[in-house]
Every structure is written in C-alpha cells, then in structure tokens.
Structure 1
Amino acid sequence: MSQPLDAAAVRRWCTIALDSLGRSREDIDAINVFPVADSDTGTNLYLTVESAAQAVTAADEGGPTLAEAVRTMAHGALIGARGNSGTILAQLLRGMAQVLARAGDPADAEALRQALAQAVTSAYQAVAHPVEGTMLTVARAAAEAAGRCEGEAADVAGAACAAAREALAATPGQLEVLARAGVVDAGGTGLAAVLEALDAALSGRRPDTARHHGLARSGPAPAPAPAGAGCPPAMGAGTAFEVLYLLEAGDSEVAALRDRLDALGDSLVVVGGDGLWNVHVHTEEPGAAVEAGIEAGRPYRIRISHLRSVAVPEERAPRSVVALMPGDGLAALCEEAGATALTVRPGEPPGSGELAAAIHRAHAREVVLLPNDHALWHAAAAAAEQARAEGVRVAVIPTRSPVQGIAALAVHAPERRFDEDVVAMTSAAGATRFGEVTVAERESWTMAGICQAGDVLGLVDGDVAVIGDDPLRVAGDVLTRMLSAGGELVTLVLGAGAAPELAGRLQERVRGGHLGVDTVVYEGRQTALLLIGVE
C-alpha cells in the first residue's frame, strides 16, 4: 500500500537507506575503481547517509513538517558528506529538498518528479568535470524516467528505481576503467540503493537490494588498478591527497574558489549553498587547497587523507579490545578486564565517526570491536573500515547483547595470534544465548502479542517472549525458557531500576531447579531492568 510523501516517509527513507548501505558497504567498496581505486565509496556513502539519518532522527521529536524534514536531511548529508560520492549524494539530496520544501505536505507526484530533476541539475553543476558512466548518469536516468511516469508519488519512485538499475548496468559501456575491471560504477550502485530505499519508503515494499547488488560485477574480480588508471582525464597519476572541509562563504567567493581548486587538482566537487559549502578535491598540494578555502571564507572540519596506505607507528600497543556498553557499570567491568569501553547513552547510538575515534584512542596495531547491539553493527563495520584505511587491523565480532560481549571478553587472550583470538571470542559470543527484561515505552505489536506502555517485557535472543506486570515473574519465565536447552553458566546483569532482591531470587531459582549451573551477578546500571546470558 502506497504511503504519502511526508516527514514520516523521509524518516523511513533515511532509515532504510542507511540499513541498505550498511549491508552493501563492503561490496560497493570492493568495486570502487573510479575516480580513484581506493575502495571507500561504499563507506563514504554510508557515512553521508548516516549523518543525514541522525539529523532527521534528532529533529523528529518536534513533529517536523515535510519541509523541515527534507531540509534537515539535506543539511545532515551536507555536513557529514565524505569522499567524491558522498558530496555528490549530498548535493542530490539538497536539490530534492529545494523543491520538496516548497511543495504541499504531503508532496504529490509532480513535486517528486521536479525534485528528482532539480537534484540532477544541482549535482551536475557541483562537479567541476562531470564524467558519464558514474552516479551522475544513474541519477539523470532516474530523473528522466520519473518525469515520464504518471501516477502517485510511489509510482514515480518505482520508475526512478527501475531506470537507475538499467543505467547502472550500462555504466561499463560508458567508462573504460569499469569495463577493464569488469564492474559497474560503485557510486551508481550506492545511489541505486538510496533510490531503492525511497521506493520502499513510499510503496511499503521491502527494498530488493539484490537487484542492484547482483549487477556489482560483470566479470572477474578487478585486479588492482595501475596508478592513475581510475582517474578522470584531468588527474595525474601522482595525485596523493584527498582534501575535504566545510566552508562558510558567499556565492561569489565560492565561484572564485572553484577556479583555484580546479587548477590545483581534480575530482573537484563543491556542494551546498546559503553560506555553507562542502568542498572535496584530490590534489598534490593539500596546504594550498586549504589556503584557498581560507581566502574564500572560514573552512573548518578539515580532513586531509593520503590516498595511499598509511603506516602504523611502531609504538602502538599490540592489541586492544573496544567494547560498547549500555551502562557505566558494564563499562567499568570491561575496563577492569583491560578493554577500552564506550558507554552508549539511551536514545543516542554512537555514529561510525565516534566508534572510529574510540578505535583510535585504543592506540593498538590490532583491535577487536564488540558492538554488543545488532543495531550498531553497520556503524561498527564502517568505523572498522575507517581504521583499516589508517593501517589498523580491526575485527568486528557480531555480538548482539552485552552478555555476549562479556563472554567474548572472558576468553580474550592477547598472546594468541589475532585470527585465533577473534575465532575464540566469536565462538564464545555465539554460544551465549541472551535475554532481557525491560519495560515497554508504548503500545506495540510483539511476537508474544500486543503490549501496553508500562508492561514488563521478557525477550529471548532479541524477540519478545513474555509479557507481564511483575519483573520477577517475567524474569523467571525468561530464565526457564533459556535454560530449557541446557547451560553451564548464567550471567545476570542488573539494571539501574532493578529491585535489589531480583538477583538473589533468580539465583535461588537456578540452584533449586538446575543442578550444576553456576550463576554470576554484575551491576550493569543499564536502562533495561535485567540482562541474562546463558552459556
């Protein structure tokens, strides 16, 4: 059933796009051969959409209008844009926002057609030397198909998706470097995922990302490209640095800046407007590129990255574990075990940039990252990719609960080889069933039926299994279900709102009905009343 193009649809669009890019990020990185074969297009697109999604989520509490939602989305993408592909995507979203912010609420099909057309116009204007066979080509094909489509907004989005997939499949015939590598354009693949998310947000269908991921390779896996092989015509093989910064400046100053940066390098993209711009260029003179920004206005958030690998200083520690934990008690437990802990605040999930900073603070040549929450998996994977680009060896263990993280940390042995340590920690986490007792915040459908705000919920392996009104009774039911398949060790982690006697009563239950099963109790001080692990 089609959905209106309103603020809620924008929120769904961001959420679905972020999930889709998270799932396909590594695949997109793997086919990144243009404009530089530096294997980061998927990561850059993910980080850009992550910033947009976080901005929309932060503004959602006030019940934003469509105009407010699309402007917030575009602004979030602008300030968080990364890489050539990310800055182009930010400008595409900005172009759409310019039209949708003036449309009705909800916007109609004609507004979406015009928004997609304006997105393409804005993006082509932002790129100094547009090249066909890239995400620009995919965007133009999508907008042209949308312009020919009659029907509701969902129909327009569907037509745009279909045309984007066709244009993506044709990119190897338009760009020689893609044909040689046997791949389609990486940026175009990411844009197809974003358009799939828009279609899903309006049509109510699940995004079929396999349709464009299946086009990711048209031949054998690409061999490493020779220096300069993936560059646009203006780029020299010796270009060594990627320079990005946000810039506060007027339109006239930016026009002069474009000319100066165009002479300094290539892959130049300047996006934004209304006094705020995101500048991206590849150059052998990063200092001069920043000085040009200073002359034009006020540059900040300056990032200069070497396009070649960076050696890791030898003074780093051999290995460290970084664990994300939802309570300061759990964080302290991890610190005692020698890990670097990052406390996750309720309702404020860390972005990949914050996780990358935590990896950096660990100051180790090898890092094991424990996200301890399924919702943080994609951000953790993107953070790991950023750290790997700086020469750090990172493994992300797919822990879905803090109790799985505790189990993994318990078998961590830094004297082992890295791969052996990761396998042992992964096995320990996977062998730990996890449960949770929490209080429902609102009425909702669950696997166990409809719950009301204030109900006590018991979850097993992430799914609601018990609904009740007494935390002890619900916790007991959850523990019985988890031990029905056996177990040797029960871990109980008490939350900030748990009754003092809860752990003792549960320990009595284990001793009375499950001989040979040990119990350990920790003060986690997390929001959930109780976390349960069974190994």
Structure 2
Amino acid sequence: MPPTLDAALLTRWTRDATTALEQHCDEIDRINVFPVPDGDTGTNLLLTMRAAAEAVRRAARENGARGVTTVAGALARGALAGARGNSGVILSQVLRGVSEAVAAVAGPAPAGAVLADALRRAHRLATAAVSRPREGTVLTVLAAAAGAAATVDSERLDDVAVAAADAARTALQATTGQLPELARAGVVDAGGLGLYVVLDALARLVTGRVGAAEMPATGAANRPGPRGREVLVAQRESGSAVYDYEVMFLLDGTDAARVDVLRAELDVIGDSVAVVDDGAGLWNVHLHCSDVGAAIEAGIGAGRPHRITVIRFDDDLPPDAASGDGRFVRDRAVLMVVTGTELAELARSAGAAVLERGPGRPVDESDLGAALVGTRARHVVLLPDDSELTRIAERAAAAARRDGQEVLIVPSASVLQGLAALAVHDPARRPAEDVVAMADAAAGTRTAGLMVAESEALTWVGRCEPGDVLGISDGEVVLIAPDLAVGGLWLAHRMLTAGGELVTVLLGQGVDESLGEGLAADLRRTHPEVDVTVHRGGQTDFPIVLGVE
C-alpha cells in the first residue's frame, strides 16, 4: 500500500529530519561561506527544525492535536517562531508550503500531488522572502526539487519524494560553480545541503530505506572547521560586506502593506533582508546591519516586534578559546531574559546578550536553547529574571550542555536582580567564581513595585479604593498611597529600613520622566548615603519598580 501524507508521517519526518540535521550539523557549518562565512547554517537549521518539532509536541500536549492539518500548521508556526538565520527562515517557508498544501486539500487527493504542491508553494514563498535572491543558493536547490516533483510521472508519495530529493542532490552539487564564493572555497551551498538533508530524510522514510544517508561531495572534508575571526573576516563579495550584526525579531500587530514598507526600509538599513509570515499574522524578520537601533525602530513603526535577537559577526576570539568547537567565537557571555524593548536595550548596554519576551508571552525551552546557541559563547551565564522560568531554564541549560556548551544559571526573580548580577560580572574571573559573585549580587537585591488599584479591595494594610497606589513586595500589598510620587518615596523608605547602598528606579510604559527625577531628588535629600539611578524600563505591569542593593 503506498504511503500517505498523514499526521503520523509528518511527525516522523520532523523527527527524522531533526536527527539527520544533528548528524550533519558540523559538516554544514564548516562549508558555510555565503552570504556570510559565520559557520552557523547547520546550527540554525537544526534549531529551526527543533522548534518546529517542539511546536508539534506542545500542540499534542495542550489540545491533543492529531489531525494532519493541525500537525502541519503547528510545524509551520513553530518553525517560523523559532527560525534562526537566513537558512532557518527559508526552512520555515518550506514547512509553511507543506501546511498550505495540506490545508488546500478539500477531499481525497494523491499524497504525491500534495507534496508536489507543497514544494511549489515553498519555492514561491521562500523566493518572495529574500530581497535579493541569487543563483547557486538554497533557493536554486529548492527550485530543482519543486520542478522534479511537479514533472515526475507518478502521484505516489514515495516516487515524488525520491524525485525531489534526487533533483535537490544534483542541483546542490552544481552550486559550487554558480557562486564565486562557493567556487573559491571549493564547497557546495550550506543551506542547499541542509535542505537536501531534510528532503532526503523524507525520501528515506517513505521508501523504508535504513542506515546512514549517502551524502554528496560537499567539500567539507577539505575545509577546516570555523575558528573564530579567521573565518569571520573571510572575503565577502555579498551579504554583510560592511555590516556587523545579524538582527532577527518576530513581528505582529501589522499587515502586508506595512510589512512592504518595513521591507523597503530594511533594504536601506542593511542587507540579507528576509521577511516571512505564517499566514496568520505572525512575521519573522531577518537582516544584517550595523545600526541595530534603526532596524528595531523600523520594526516598531510597522507593528510590535518581540523576541529580538542580535548577534555580532566579528566578536574577537579570546586566546584561550582559539581551539575547540568552531561554533564558539567567544569564550564568555551573559544571557538575560527581559520583557520589553527598553529593558532589552538597557541590558545590552550593560553587556548582556538578550532574549526579549513580549508582555504576557511565554518563553519555552526552544526559545532559550536558540538564544544560548545565538550567543556563540563557550561559557554562558543565564539570567532568567523570572522565578517561573527557572525550571525551563534548567532544561534548556541541560540540553545546551549535551551539545558541548557550558551553561550556568544564576537564579534571578526580576530584571533588577539580573542587572545587579550583570554589574559585577567579570570575564577575567574564573567562571565558577564569577557565577558566585553574580549570584550574591542578585540575592542581595530586594525588589518591589507600585501599581494602581482598579477596584475596591481589602488588603493586608487596609482597604483600597480605585485609583489608590499600592506598594507590592513579595506578592503582597505593603502600603497604600495617594499617588505614584508619594508611593515611590514611601516604598523606598520602607525598603531602606533594612539597609542599602543603591536604589534603582525603573519607569514603566507611559510614566513621565519627571516622576523619576522627583523621586530621585527626594531620596537623595532624605537618604544622602544612598546612590540613586533612574532608567526607562518600559514595563507594562508596574508603573514603577524599585530595587535596593
């Protein structure tokens, strides 16, 4: 009986493709020279596929999703939300093509015809995603696979899958002569190799072939693994010749017209621009640029950016990290999880890598795993800045350790604790000693916040009325004040009764700067022994957050 494209097969394909990418990740990374020779295409593809697989597992856990349309949709959404780099963006569109083709089937249809339609859609979507497509890339390999699937004289799934994989293999081997960058390095296109691995996994699954896949000659054996700056400063004829950063973020609250404007703006700011969506209002934005702020501001003008990731291409490799796994281009990093663009910028300015979470949006293990890999650091200190994230962070850290990255978690229940830990971070110290110092700084920071009561209620300190300002500490109301200015001063006084040397004030979204200036002046007058700093935090839950160290 010929194989069918059902939910079980899609789930197995995701699993097998993930395993195959794990097996060939280092090889794909080694031959990564276009558009930027940063040695991470295999890693990005693997992270994207893992995110897709996790989305399917999550859908099954939460709502028992078993239908092929539901599974295909979860694959596409998970890949888009977890896409890393240009290669991950393209892979997300391949899986979106599968999702759209499955959803378009109104009744019984040959599985091979559905796969052919999926690859046709994938090629159209992926080509539209890239602002300046070139011959000899993953798009060329995808075009060959789609063309073969459409013309094979069969509608059986196994025949179409084999034809697509074979055509992808042939097209992949030809890429060396199609791009000068590839010819100079003597390798095939890394993204194209990753796509072939994924398509070959499907062909092997539906034909029942077992054992290791027979890989085409890629040139990887003759190319040393990436070693920091040696690879990063390789000649670049296109793709980030003058740009320092890779910027990625998710975008919602927008529409196609505003995204078109955004794409045009990003083309001016940088290159390697790719903007794709899941067909349901969520977009993934990728570019290489030097002005990170301008890229993020363009995103804010188009909608609501979140999960912002910034990676620097040419981080210097410390001497003690000059050997070992080429995935790491620096020895140490600190990764902070924060909510909101302003807090993210504050954390970056203090030297942290940042995983930005949107207000009210959960962070899962795949998000943290991708952010850890994105630091490109051998040793990472992870600051979850939320007690509810600690268990998820521990699982992500354990997975990263299995992949050879050393990750240590400093328990931090708030962003102010995270910033306190970051302030004492010293890369010159031994990692274990540095973590102890950061943990002590976080534990020594007491935090509390102010919020405005929306209704009448009975609290531990009395009855509050709508509009009253409540001081919250450890989840309990500890004071009631007539306004934010008075509440901030009373709350700071209360926190300083246990001692303290530094008060940090974070102003929430929409709070006037003068409120922070007035509070700082009052505290300097009443507590001259204490230093006071005020930052724009932009948080939406508390108008004012205070930290005392």
**Bin for the TM-score computed over the shorter chain:** 0.5 to 0.7
Is the aligned partner of 1:10 residue 2:24? no
* Distance in 2 (alpha carbons) for counterparts of 1:148 and 1:377: 46
Are the structure 2 counterparts of residues 200 and 386 from structure 1 closer, same or farther at C-alpha, using a change threshold of 3 Å? farther
Are the structure 2 counterparts of residues 163 and 149 from structure 1 closer, same or farther at C-alpha, using a change threshold of 3 Å? same
* Distance in 2 (alpha carbons) for counterparts of 1:377 and 1:207: 31
Is the aligned partner of 1:190 residue 2:194? yes
**Partners of 1:92 and 1:123 within 8 A in 2:** yes
284-293 vs 58-67, which moves further: 58-67
Q: Which amino acid in 1 is paired with 2:98?
A: M
Aligned to 1:243: 247
**Partners of 1:356 and 1:386 within 8 A in 2:** no
Q: Which amino acid in 2 is paired with 1:118?
A: R
Q: Which amino acid in 2 is paired with 1:185?
A: D
* Corresponding residue pairs, total: 345
Aligned to 2:380: 360
Aligned to 2:93: 91
Q: Which amino acid in 2 is paired with 1:164?
A: A
- Per the alignment, in what secondary structure is the counterpart of residue 145 of structure 2? helix
Aligned to 1:276: 282
**Partners of 2:369 and 2:399 within 8 A in 1:** no
Quote how far apart the aligned CAs of 1:100 are.
Answer: 1.5
Aligned to 1:423: none
Q: Which amino acid in 1 is paired with 2:185?
A: A
**Partners of 1:95 and 1:118 within 8 A in 2:** yes
Q: Which amino acid in 2 is paired with 1:256?
A: V
- Per the alignment, in what secondary structure is the counterpart of residue 35 of structure 1? coil
TM-score norm. by structure 1 comes to 0.59
Q: Which amino acid in 2 is paired with 1:158?
A: V
Provide Cα deviations, 1:490-530, integer angstroms capped at 9, x if missing partner: xxxxxxxxxxxxxxxxxxxxxxxxxxxxxxxxxxxxxxxxx
Quote how far apart the aligned CAs of 1:22 are.
Answer: 0.7
Superposition map of 1:111-130 within 5 A: 111-130=114-133
Aligned to 2:177: 173
Quote how far apart the aligned CAs of 1:92 are.
Answer: 1.9
Q: Alignment identity in percent?
A: 43
Provide Cα deviations, 1:379-431, integer angstroms capped at 9, x if missing partner: 547854698xxxxxxxxxxxxxxxxxxxxxxxxxx99xxxxxxxxxxxxxxxx
Q: Which amino acid in 2 is paired with 1:293?
A: G
Quote how far apart the aligned CAs of 1:274 are.
Answer: 2.7
Q: Which amino acid in 2 is paired with 1:32?
A: N
Superposition map of 1:290-305 within 5 A: 290-305=296-311
Aligned to 1:46: 46
Quote how far apart the aligned CAs of 1:112 are.
Answer: 1.2
* Distance in 1 (alpha carbons) for counterparts of 2:319 and 2:268: 34
Aligned to 1:482: none
Q: Which amino acid in 1 is paired with 2:56?
A: V
* Distance in 1 (alpha carbons) for counterparts of 2:311 and 2:52: 23
Q: Which amino acid in 2 is paired with 1:170?
A: A
* Distance in 1 (alpha carbons) for counterparts of 2:316 and 2:406: 12
Are the structure 2 counterparts of residues 63 and 257 from structure 1 closer, same or farther at C-alpha, using a change threshold of 3 Å? closer
148-157 vs 202-211, which moves further: 202-211
**Partners of 1:79 and 1:246 within 8 A in 2:** yes
* Distance in 1 (alpha carbons) for counterparts of 2:382 and 2:258: 41
* Distance in 2 (alpha carbons) for counterparts of 1:192 and 1:381: 28
**Partners of 2:240 and 2:272 within 8 A in 1:** no
Superposition map of 1:445-464 within 5 A: none
Is the aligned partner of 1:256 residue 2:271? no
**Partners of 2:82 and 2:366 within 8 A in 1:** no
- Per the alignment, in what secondary structure is the counterpart of residue 117 of structure 1? helix
Are the structure 2 counterparts of residues 114 and 354 from structure 1 closer, same or farther at C-alpha, using a change threshold of 3 Å? closer
Provide Cα deviations, 1:412-461, integer angstroms capped at 9, x if missing partner: xx99xxxxxxxxxxxxxxxxxxxxxxxxxxxxxxxxxxxxxxxxxxxxxx
**Partners of 1:157 and 1:199 within 8 A in 2:** yes
* Distance in 1 (alpha carbons) for counterparts of 2:111 and 2:37: 40
Provide Cα deviations, 1:128-155, integer angstroms capped at 9, x if missing partner: 0001111100000001011111220111
Aligned to 2:213: 209
Aligned to 1:501: none
Are the structure 2 counterparts of residues 260 and 350 from structure 1 closer, same or farther at C-alpha, using a change threshold of 3 Å? closer
Aligned to 2:293: 287
- Per the alignment, in what secondary structure is the counterpart of residue 210 of structure 1? coil
* Distance in 2 (alpha carbons) for counterparts of 1:82 and 1:305: 11
Provide Cα deviations, 1:301-326, integer angstroms capped at 9, x if missing partner: 00111011256899xxx99xxxxxxx
* Distance in 2 (alpha carbons) for counterparts of 1:150 and 1:79: 36
Aligned to 1:78: 80
Q: Which amino acid in 2 is paired with 1:244?
A: M
Quote how far apart the aligned CAs of 1:196 are.
Answer: 1.0
* Distance in 2 (alpha carbons) for counterparts of 1:55 and 1:72: 6
Provide Cα deviations, 1:235-264, integer angstroms capped at 9, x if missing partner: 453210000000002111101000000111
* Distance in 1 (alpha carbons) for counterparts of 2:91 and 2:237: 19
Are the structure 2 counterparts of residues 207 and 69 from structure 1 closer, same or farther at C-alpha, using a change threshold of 3 Å? farther
* Distance in 1 (alpha carbons) for counterparts of 2:398 and 2:212: 18
Task: Choose the corresponding residue for 2:164, options 137, 160, 165.
Answer: 160
- Per the alignment, in what secondary structure is the counterpart of residue 44 of structure 2? helix
Provide Cα deviations, 1:106-163, integer angstroms capped at 9, x if missing partner: 7621121111111101110110000111110000000101111122011101100000
* Distance in 1 (alpha carbons) for counterparts of 2:225 and 2:370: 30
**Partners of 1:43 and 1:385 within 8 A in 2:** no
**Partners of 2:97 and 2:119 within 8 A in 1:** yes
* Distance in 1 (alpha carbons) for counterparts of 2:186 and 2:380: 35
TM-score norm. by structure 2 comes to 0.57
Aligned to 2:33: 33
Are the structure 2 counterparts of residues 182 and 381 from structure 1 closer, same or farther at C-alpha, using a change threshold of 3 Å? farther
* Distance in 2 (alpha carbons) for counterparts of 1:383 and 1:302: 24
Superposition map of 1:321-336 within 5 A: none
* Distance in 1 (alpha carbons) for counterparts of 2:117 and 2:406: 36
* Distance in 2 (alpha carbons) for counterparts of 1:13 and 1:185: 23
